[in-house]
Structure 1
Amino acid sequence: MSHVRKGMKKTILAAALTGLLLLAGCSASDESGAPTAGAAKPGNAADMDRDTAALGEQNKAGSDGAVAPEGVGATGGPVTGRSLIYRGELTVRVDDVPAAADRLTGLVNTAGGHIGAEKRVVDPTESQASITVRVPAKQFHGVLEQIAKLGEEVSRGSNTEDVTEAVVDLDTRIAAQRASVESVRRMFTQAKQLSEVVLLERELNQRQAELASLERKKASLDDLVALSTISVSLIGPHTPLPEPEKEPAPGFLGGLEAGWDAFVGTVQVALAVLGFLLPFLIALAIPVALVIALRRRRRPALAAPAPTAPPAPPAAD
């Protein structure tokens, strides 16, 4: 009987422990699910409403066509952390081209830039100047507006190129290449055999050349990012505007026009080649004509028949 009672006690204890474990598991599952249920708290819902409203305002602004200008963020501040290249083209008609070009030079110098290239044509009827200016990126839009005020704006164009990924890639490659060069230098100092010295020296020169090439690309890219480029055309009051390029017509007419242009171009090239060769042909034709004339004069003398003896008189009977 004692053994039976001990077995019953063990069974009851095991059942009690099992129940306690089940209750603990249920309570843990309830606690773990509490945060999920709490995601819909009033404070969190308010935050979500505010985010949704803000997103709606942004979408509304975008649908109304309000686009942030180049180099300016959606909030009106400048774009930071990006590498942007600004390029612009501007044609302005002015009364006095030389005076306007001088004013443009002073304006660019005041903005902290410089003249990259300049070409002036001073003519009473068709005076014009083509000037390429480099200005700091922060002054790009302001300088563009000031140049337009030099006279009557005829045409304008601008574009922005984001080269952030290219800059980051070059920085990474330059850092890796510098580490590689330093590694080869350490190996070079530790080399003992002549063959190792020659091999490491060639490898070091090659890696240094690659590093210099990467650094030149990075410097060129940094220059384009730091200084924006504006191509300015100043034209006089009587200078005609260049005709825009005519787009080819579609379909059969476009093919016919392209074929005619190709034919005219081929004829012009052939005439140009003929004009180039004509002096040489004339110079060769003169001695050839003389040789032919001399041959014709000699041919009758050579072909003349020899004189024949007169026939003998008939014998008398």
Structure 2
Amino acid sequence: MSRRKSGLFISVAGAALLLGLSACSSSGDFGEATSGNAAVPDKANPAGGGGVAKEAAPAQPPASVQERQLVQTARVEMAVDVIFDAVSGARAIATTNGGFTGQEESRLDRASITLRIPVDKFDPALRQLDELGDITLQHKQAEDVTEQVVDLDSRLRTQRESVARIQALLAKATSVSEIAQIESELTRRQSDLESLQGRRDALGSKAALSTVTVQFALKSAPPAPVKASGGFFEGLTDGWGAFGEFFTVTTRVLGAMLPFLALFGIPAGLWFYFRRKRRKVTPPVTESV
């Protein structure tokens, strides 16, 4: 009886083991089949070939404080003694700090200039500008563009992989229609890639070089000191000076009128002279009664 029970137990255990192995085998086959069909054809593949499905970009860890991408700008207004000397000094500050100058406009009493300074020399350059004159206004601003940079870098990687896949399909195309369709799609994706690259380069340039706009204005002349009123002698001096100015103005007016008096006065005098003489020569007429 014990042998029969032990044999039955061994048979049941063997059957259970076989069922477990068959279940594992079937699940493994299903997994392989699923992974084999995971390559979804690319929508942009007009040839109908099996493309590689796009994988989601891995999540980027947050950047540390030192790795943040900042676009720094500043606007400075200054009062200076000489406009052109201040503009020359601003150019020298830009070049000595490894930067360059942008838009510039100068007049006799005011000027404006744009400086592009490396981000690590931003604060030292502002301190150097303080030596050119008196700062009347200074405004600094920093914009964090780290998330934009990370997003553009991820999109660039994905777009490069997409272009590479289309190029691989183009190498395998056989018919003229397939080549034309794939080339059209390749052109579109390369255009998108260049657009993304341009945006990334522009944003990187803004983050690498800070912008400082400087406006110079000429210092106003100090007001003339008011003289204190003096005594009798100072009044006499002022009066004599006023008389001299009056005499000078009078003689100047007479000198200006002299040519006109000579032109019109002499004929008028001769006319009155001859008229008066004629009255003396002509006898008066008497009426007879």
TM-score bin (small chain): 0.5 to 0.7
Residue 161 (structure 2) pairs with residue 175 (structure 1): no
Q: Which runs of 5+ in 2 are unaligned?
A: 1-63, 222-289
Identity rate, percent: 34
Match in the other structure for 1:104: 90
Pair 1:128 & 2:110 matched:
yes
Partner of residue 209, structure 2:
227
Structure 1 match to 2:197: 215
Counterpart secondary structure, 1:170 = helix
- Structure 1 residue 158: Cα displacement: 0.7
Instruction: Give the drift of 1:144.
Output: 1.1
CA offsets, 1:268-288, max 9 Å, x none? xxxxxxxxxxxxxxxxxxxxx
Supply the AA of the counterpart residue of 1:166.
Q
Aligned partner of 2:71 in structure 1 is 85
In the alignment, is the contact (CA less than 8 A) between 1:92 and 1:152 conserved in 2? yes
Q: Does 1:186 align with 2:172?
A: no
Q: What is the aligned partner in structure 2 of residue 146 from structure 1? A: 128
Query: Whole-Å Cα distance in 2 between the matches of residues 160 and 176 of structure 1?
Result: 30
- Equivalence for 2:80: 94
| Equivalent position SS for 1:158 | strand
Residues of 2 paired with 1:110 and 1:79: CA distance? 28
Q: CA deviation at 1:238?
A: 3.2
Alignment root-mean-square deviation, CA: 1.4
**CA–CA separation in structure 2 for the residues paired with 1:238 and 1:198:** 72
Bigger Cα Rg: 2
Deviation for aligned residue 1:117: 1.1
Q: What does 1:206-285 correspond to in 2, within 5 Å?
A: 206-238=188-220
* CA distance in structure 2 between the partners assigned to 1:182 and 1:234 by the alignment: 53
| 1: CA distance, partners of 2:178 / 2:220 | 73
Deviation sequence 1:13-32 (CA, Å, 0-9, x none): xxxxxxxxxxxxxxxxxxxx
1:45-64 matches, within 5 Å, as none
CA distance in structure 1 between the aligned counterparts of 2:104 and 2:93, rounded to whole angstroms: 15
Q: Deviations over 1:111-142 (max 9, x none)?
A: 000001111112xxxx1111010000011111
Hey, what's the Cα distance between the residues in 2 that align with 1:215 and 1:233? 34
- 1:117 pairs with 74, 98, 103, which one? 103
Structure 1's consecutive aligned runs of 4 or more residues displaced over 4 angstroms after TM superposition are none
Distance in 1 between the 2:79 and 2:118 partners? Answer: 25
CA contact under 8 A between 1:114 and 1:135: conserved in structure 2? Answer: yes
Deviation at 1:80, TM superposition (A): 1.1
Q: Distance in 2 between matches of 1:132 and 1:186?
A: 48
Residue 205 of structure 1: how far off its partner (Å): 0.3
Distance 1:87 1:107 in 2: 16
- In the alignment, the residues of structure 2 paired with residue 101 and residue 213 of structure 1 have an alpha-carbon distance, to the nearest angstrom, of 37
Aligned equivalents of 2:65, 2:163: Cα separation in 1: 36
- Summarize deviations over 1:50-99 as a string: whole Å, max 9, x none: xxxxxxxxxxxxxxxxxxxxxxxxxxxx9411101100000010000101
TM-score normalized by structure 2? Answer: 0.53
Give the secondary-structure state (helix, strand or coil) at the position aligned to 2:179.
helix
Residue 160 (str. 1) matches residue 160 (str. 2): no
1:179 corresponds to which letter in structure 2? Answer: E
Q: What is the TM-score with the length of structure 1 in the denominator?
A: 0.49
1:149 shift after superposition: 2.3
